[in-house]
Structure 1
Amino acid sequence: MTLWLGKAPLILASQSKARQTLLANAGFAFESQPADIDERAIQQSSELSAPGEVASLLAREKARAVSARRPGQYVIGADQTLALGTRIFNKPAGRVQAADQLRALSGHCHELHSAIALARDEKILFDHVSIARMTMRQLSDAEIDAYLDEAGSAVTTSVGAYQLEGLGIHLFERIEGDHFTILGLPLFPLLAFLRSQHLLSL
């Protein structure tokens, strides 16, 4: 059963297991198709530096790229940036870079900017950026090493080297923001838009 009323399947332009799980748990039947865009090249050519603007741009480009291949279908694009002050983080390339990121974030409050966009036939119909503020507790080098030992290669799959829904919860002392924003798919504004377009049965 699905709450989706569109004539064709909804498409999620992401391979993120967290985003897929959020959408499935919300009662959507959907298909996933990666956008396969060069995110860093798009970001650099845009000359944007504000983390929310970068996330919004990439979410829109992902949605457009997949909608070009799936005419007539609604496509969700999503992106998330992590910012500590003016510094924007990308996914760490390996354990050494993950440790460097955790040392930089340790004892500080950083922001997650989660963007979502909905496209159809390469036209953006809706986009939105939500922000969550995450305060990481002060971590010793021994604690960082212990975390990296336990988390393994998963640390390279998300910015900041953590998944809050997993072992990453041990790194934090305070969180301000909703669950969906933190996991990279701000559902509340998306659901409100879909309802306004009579695309949901609930």
Structure 2
Amino acid sequence: MTHKLILATESRYKIELLERLSLPFEAIAAQVDERRLEGESPAAMATRLADAKAKRLQQSHPDAFVLGADQVIALGDTIFQKPGNEERACEQLMQLQGRTHHLITAIALRPPAGAPLHAQVAFEMVMRPLTETQVRAYVHQDLPVHCAGSYRIEAAGIRLFEAARGDDFTAIIGLPLTRVWSLLEQAGYFEPS
């Protein structure tokens, strides 16, 4: 196998996840406008952004398989972005505490030839009722200011939840590896070049 694989990210979490598959790849940041389009559903937004990241890098790497991913946290129609600071993280968690929200992770694979492929994993996230003191202690410990929804479930954030319902837990961290492998197979990545 001599195909080049590029992961369109600078996220260390996504990089660490893809390393689990023992495939050679390069990670390159792909900057795209992450604002929600008017009337766009959370699921459509996740897929559009994953594809936009892959498409952006495919322009400069046309002979590579380019993988983009995006994650959207939604409570009803409200989307929670990366908070950027501790105060905003606390505000987001107080809105989510005691409620069930959806975490949608989308991936897009753009092969050198052929149509782009897409997949999506959705999780139903049931957060425990929390006090402001508990939320502030968590945020101070885990510093989830660069995480959509203001939690890191792969770290201390697991204690915020009663349940997480879905079928590929790596999607919660940011890259559903079962879907990544399937899309690579479908796109012919493992076939001799």
TM exceeding 0.5: yes
TM-score w.r.t. the length of structure 1 is 0.88
Which residue is equivalent to 2:150? 161
Q: 2:62 aligns with which of 50, 57, 71?
A: 71
- Output the amino acid matched with 1:183: I
In structure 2, the partner of 1:199 is: 189
Structure 1 or 2: larger helix share? Answer: 1
Q: Does structure 2 conserve the Cα–Cα contact (< 8 Å) formed by 1:91 and 1:156?
A: yes
Q: Which runs of 4+ in 1 moved over 6 A?
A: none
- CA deviation after TM superposition for structure 1 residue 173, in Å: 1.1
Unaligned 5+ segments in structure 2 are none
The alpha-carbon distance between structure 1 residues 123 and 88, as it changes in their structure 2 partners (threshold 3 A), is farther
Counterparts of 2:138 and 2:100 in 1: how far apart (Å)?
19
Does the 8 Å contact 1:64/1:124 carry over to 2?
Answer: no
1:1-202 map, 5 Å: 5=1, 7-40=2-35, 43-44=36-37, 47-120=38-111, 124-152=115-143, 155-177=144-166, 178-200=168-190
Deviates more, 1:178-187 or 1:167-176: 178-187
C-alpha RMSD of matched pairs (Å): 1.7
Is 1:115–1:127's contact at 8 Å kept on the other side of the alignment? yes
Distance 1:161 1:92 in 2: 6
Q: TM-score, normalised by structure 2?
A: 0.92
Structure 1 unaligned regions, length at least 5: none
Cα shift at 1:36: 1.4
Residue aligned with 1:156, SS? coil
**Alignment size in residue pairs:** 190
Contact 2:86–2:140 (CA<8 Å) still a contact in 1? no
